[in-house]
């Protein structure tokens, strides 16, 4: 007979989380390694008290980390879990109202990227005794809705624990979803403020050590046979490696599959690093920001083998990447949802298991016809890395200098702006965990916060957050968290006075860079005046970071060296030319242009848009 233990709901949550483990390939690790949080009246005496009690008494081991912004703490949790290949995650506790809704963007980001995060937003009183509590929405149509209902469409599992009796089932469901590679994403358990503090006699066994086995589903033999038949019939196959390859730790197996079959491998933003850039079969990034080599192979391919990819519009160049009239797709994916895309022959399985099965079954090899193209492309990359652009350096030179400075295991972190595209095109990844570009949600502000979580997940690696001035201004405050926690990051802060990315996009779409500069508003009403008196280096310094200012690439290279030697968070600041050239990917991205306009620039862009749009294919 098991006993009962009298705990508050919050104490039970913390005790439960501290006893959850995951296992894959025989390796056990903590399922929930810690809890980020920001306290307010919604959680200070509930989850806050439980975390305090756990820390003071050792009743439960769940380290607490104070973040500076709730959105950022979810980014950090995403960075952590992605770095751990989704086998270990973090919890996030927030106060009710704005504290909780600040996590919405992070929830969407986690779910879009299929990364596990456990969100514990606080909620309005279950008893409604003091309603409306400070920050309560008060929907006049119904009393059982709160702002937290906005998490529903963003969460892979959502529950509100109105009564202590409901907690065990909610906790177990949360763990099941978090560590199921098919289901995973944001999991949200709303904890009403009064319920957090309410005591209940919980059964002991709820808190027993529990191991969640992370599955590696094997391919069904008939599905494997169908996939092999399509691949064997190919004249010009191409593999697209997505993030699933990396999360499944299948990089070595993919390299072997490519080497034994000779099939070229292109990578998506999430899949970069799955094969090393200098692997003989690596042709670099695919799609809108891919290499011309990969995009030419994609255009000609008759069979595309998509492994662990969700086929975002950037990957498919908005469905213009594949030109062969009879092109067919074979999709190896753990989720049938993704395997079914592009009307593919579906191979639903864990990436590693599926790749091994394909390697054993294909028994065929294709002639390589792209080695010269890859070599020529690498010369283009070398040139972009060492452009000698002036008077201000080019962003491609900054990327080159960081790539040169990086050790094999170092991690580069990015999310939005002109850098994700430049990185996918130019970055030479040597390790499956080296390239961490959040491009599912492409959320400005992810960089520093995400890097914090990444470093916590693997302190043995140097972590470089590359941040544009726009992203920095949105979310730089986790520098303070890094200082407080003693977490060493290298932040490369690229100042180009506004949105180089959206400015260039705007110009290409006939919108003349309207409203994308960080400059004074001039007399004509646009931001065409002088630069603003903003000094982000001083800003970073004021937050407690060590700051190195650089004007040239030589100074920047030296700055990176000093940053590596530093023992605390170091911001390396450099100004670049927002108009500096980048090699072309020869690809397209579907961003609709106004169909009618009185502006010549817009009409010209629309003509180009209509022409490109005709290349779009549905692949049904
Ligand atoms: C939260 C958020 N808001 C808006 C956007 C749209 N957006 C994409 S890139 C970008 C500008 C980024 O500016 P910066 O960080 O300076 O990078 P740069 O374009 O100059 O390289 C914007 C506004 C976004 N991706 N995320
Ligand atoms: Mg910028």
Q: What is the pLDDT of residues 12-45, one digit of tens each?
A: 999 999 999 999 999 999 999 999 999 999 999 9
Burial of 610 (0-12, 13-18, 19+ CB in 10 A): exposed
Phi/psi of residue 287, nearest 5 degrees: 95, -155
pLDDT per position as a tens digit, 444-468 = 999 999 999 999 999 999 999 999 9
What the block records as the tokens of 79 is 């960075």
Q: Are 428 and 406 in contact (CB under 8 A)?
A: no
Helices (H) and strands (E) in the chain, counts: 23, 23
Q: What is the dihedral of CA 38, 83, 293, 504, to 10 degrees?
A: 10
CA distance 482 to 22: 27
pLDDT computed for residue 369 by the predictor:
84
What the block records as the tokens of 377 is 């492309």
Strands 463-468 and 435-437, by their bridges, are unpaired
CA distance 239 to 267: 8
485-506 mean pLDDT: 98
Q: Closest-lying ligand to the alpha carbon of 465? A: 1
CA of 583 relative to ligand 2 center, distance in Å: 19
586-598 mean pLDDT: 97
Could you give the angle at the alpha carbon of 80 between the alpha carbons of 284 and 545, nearest 5°? Answer: 95
CA distance 248 to 297: 26
Closest-lying ligand 1 atom to the alpha carbon of residue 503: 19
Q: Are 275 and 265 in contact (CB under 8 A)?
A: yes
What the block records as the tokens of 105 is 């963007």
Q: Name the residue of 501, 516, 536 whose CB sits within 8 Å of the most ligand 1 atoms, as the mutation to test its pocket.
A: 501
Strands 265-267 and 4-8, by their bridges, are unpaired
| pLDDT mean across residues, the chain | 97
pLDDT computed for residue 523 by the predictor:
79
pLDDT per position as a tens digit, 542-569 = 999 999 999 999 999 999 999 999 999 9
pLDDT computed for residue 1 by the predictor:
53
All residues at 6 or more sequence positions from 484 whose CB lies less than 8 Å from its CB, including other chains: 66
Closest-lying ligand 1 atom to the alpha carbon of residue 469: 16
Minimum mean pLDDT range among 101-110, 337-346, 364-373:
364-373
Decide if pLDDT at 2 tops 80: no
Q: Where is 561: in which H helix or E strand? A: helix 553-565
Minimum mean pLDDT range among 4-18, 88-102, 462-476, 514-528:
514-528
335-356 mean pLDDT: 98
Q: Residues enclosing ligand 1, CB less than 6 A?
A: 416-419, 442-444, 468-471, 496, 499-502
Q: Are 299 and 327 in contact (CB under 8 A)?
A: no
316-324 mean pLDDT: 97
Q: Closest-lying ligand to the alpha carbon of 417? A: 1
pLDDT per position as a tens digit, 174-210 = 999 999 999 999 999 999 999 999 999 999 999 999 9
98-105 mean pLDDT: 98
pLDDT level of residue 364 (50, 70, 90 thresholds): confident
CA-to-CA dists, residue 131 to 76, 160, 487, angstroms: 33, 17, 41
Asked if the bond preceding 170 is cis, omega within 30° of 0, the reply is no
pLDDT per position as a tens digit, 466-488 = 999 999 999 999 999 999 999 99
Q: Name the residue of 421, 470, 493, 494 whose CB sits within 8 Å of the most ligand 1 atoms, as the mutation to test its pocket.
A: 470
**What's the first-to-final CA gap in the chain, in angstroms?**
58
Decide if pLDDT at 314 tops 70: yes
Percent of residues, the chain, with pLDDT higher than 70: 100
pLDDT per position as a tens digit, 391-443 = 999 999 999 999 999 999 999 999 999 999 999 999 999 999 999 999 999 99
CB count within 10 Å of CB 55 equals 15
All residues at 6 or more sequence positions from 366 whose CB lies less than 8 Å from its CB, including other chains: 234, 236, 237, 261, 262, 263
Which residues make beta-bridge pairs with 192?
123
pLDDT per position as a tens digit, 598-617 = 999 999 999 999 999 999 99
Residue nearest to atom 4 of ligand 1 (CA): 444
Decide if pLDDT at 116 tops 90: yes
- Contacts of 321-328 with C-beta under 8 Å, sequence gap 24+, read 321/286, 321/287, 321/295, 321/587, 322/298, 322/617, 322/619, 323/299, 323/615, 324/236, 324/299, 324/300, 326/302, 327/301, 327/302, 327/303, 327/619, 328/230, 328/302, 328/303, 328/304
Percent of residues, the chain, with pLDDT higher than 90: 98
pLDDT per position as a tens digit, 183-193 = 999 999 999 99
Burial of 58 (0-12, 13-18, 19+ CB in 10 A): exposed
CA of 576 relative to ligand 2 center, distance in Å: 9
Residue nearest to atom 10 of ligand 1 (CA): 417
Q: Which residues surround ligand 2, an ion (CB under 5 A)?
A: 468-470, 496
């Amino acid at each position: 007979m098991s006993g009962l233990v009298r705990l508050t709901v919050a104490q039970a949550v913390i005790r439960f989380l501290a006893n959850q483990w995951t296992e894959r390939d025989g390796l056990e690790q903590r399922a929930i390694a810690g809890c980020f949080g920001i306290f307010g009246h919604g959680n200070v005496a509930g989850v806050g008290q439980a975390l305090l009690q756990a820390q003071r008494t050792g009743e439960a081991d769940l380290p607490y980390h104070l973040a500076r912004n709730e959105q950022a703490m979810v980014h950090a949790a995403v960075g952590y879990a992605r770095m751990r290949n989704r086998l270990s995650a973090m919890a996030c506790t927030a106060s009710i109202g704005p504290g909780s809704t600040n996590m919405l963007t992070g929830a969407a980001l986690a779910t879009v990227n299929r990364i596990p995060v456990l969100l514990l937003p606080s909620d309005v009183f279950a008893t409604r005794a003091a309603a409306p509590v400070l920050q309560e929405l008060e929907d006049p149509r119904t009393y059982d809705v709160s702002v937290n209902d906005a998490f529903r469409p963003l969460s892979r599992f959502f529950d509100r624990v109105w009564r202590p009796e409901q907690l065990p089932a909610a906790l177990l469901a949360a763990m099941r979803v978090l560590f199921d590679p098919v289901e995973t994403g944001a999991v949200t358990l709303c904890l009403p403020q009064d319920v957090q503090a309410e005591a209940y006699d919980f059964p002991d066994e709820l808190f027993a050590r529990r191991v969640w086995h992370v599955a590696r589903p094997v391919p069904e033999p008939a599905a494997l046979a169908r996939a092999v038949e399509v691949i064997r019939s190919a004249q010009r196959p191409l593999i697209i490696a997505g993030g699933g390859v990396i999360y499944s730790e299948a990089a070595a197996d993919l390299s072997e599959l490519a080497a034994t079959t000779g099939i070229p491998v292109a990578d998506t933003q999430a899949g970069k690093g799955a094969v090393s850039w200098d692997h003989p079969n690596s042709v670099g990034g695919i799609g809108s920001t891919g290499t011309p080599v990969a995009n030419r192979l994609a255009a000609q391919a008759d069979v595309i083998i998509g492994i662990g990819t969700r086929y975002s519009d950037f990957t498919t160049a908005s469905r213009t990447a594949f030109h062969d009239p009879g092109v067919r797709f074979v999709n190896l994916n753990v989720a049938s949802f993704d395997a079914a895309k592009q009307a593919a022959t579906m191979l639903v399985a864990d990436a590693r298991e599926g790749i091994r099965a394909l390697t054993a079954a294909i028994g065929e090899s294709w002639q390589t016809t792209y080695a010269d193209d890859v070599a020529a492309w690498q010369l283009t990359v070398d040139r972009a890395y060492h452009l000698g652009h002036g008077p201000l350096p080019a962003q491609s030179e900054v990327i080159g200098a960081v790539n040169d400075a990086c050790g094999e295991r170092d991690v580069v972190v990015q999310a939005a702006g002109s850098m994700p595209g430049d990185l996918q095109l130019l970055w030479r990844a040597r390790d499956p965990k080296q390239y961490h570009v959040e491009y599912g949600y492409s959320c400005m502000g992810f960089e520093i916060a995400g890097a914090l979580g990444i470093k916590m997940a693997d302190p043995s690696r140097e972590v470089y957050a590359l941040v544009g001035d726009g992203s920095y201004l949105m979310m730089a405050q986790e520098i303070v968290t890094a200082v407080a926690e003693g977490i060493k990051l290298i932040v490369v802060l690229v100042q180009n006075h506004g949105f180089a990315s959206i400015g260039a996009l705007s110009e290409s779409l006939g919108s003349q860079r309207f409203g994308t500069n960080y400059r004074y508003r001039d007399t004509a009403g646009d931001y065409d005046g002088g630069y603003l008196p903003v000094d982000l280096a001083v800003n970073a310094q004021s937050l407690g970071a060590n700051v190195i200012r650089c004007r040239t690439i030589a100074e920047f290279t030296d700055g990176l060296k000093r940053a590596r030697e530093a023992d605390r968070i170091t911001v390396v600041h450099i100004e670049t030319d927002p108009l500096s050239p980048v090699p072309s990917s020869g690809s397209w991205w579907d961003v609709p242009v106004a169909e009618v306009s009185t502006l010549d620039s817009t009409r010209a862009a629309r003509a180009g848009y209509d022409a490109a749009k005709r290349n779009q294919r549905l692949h049904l």
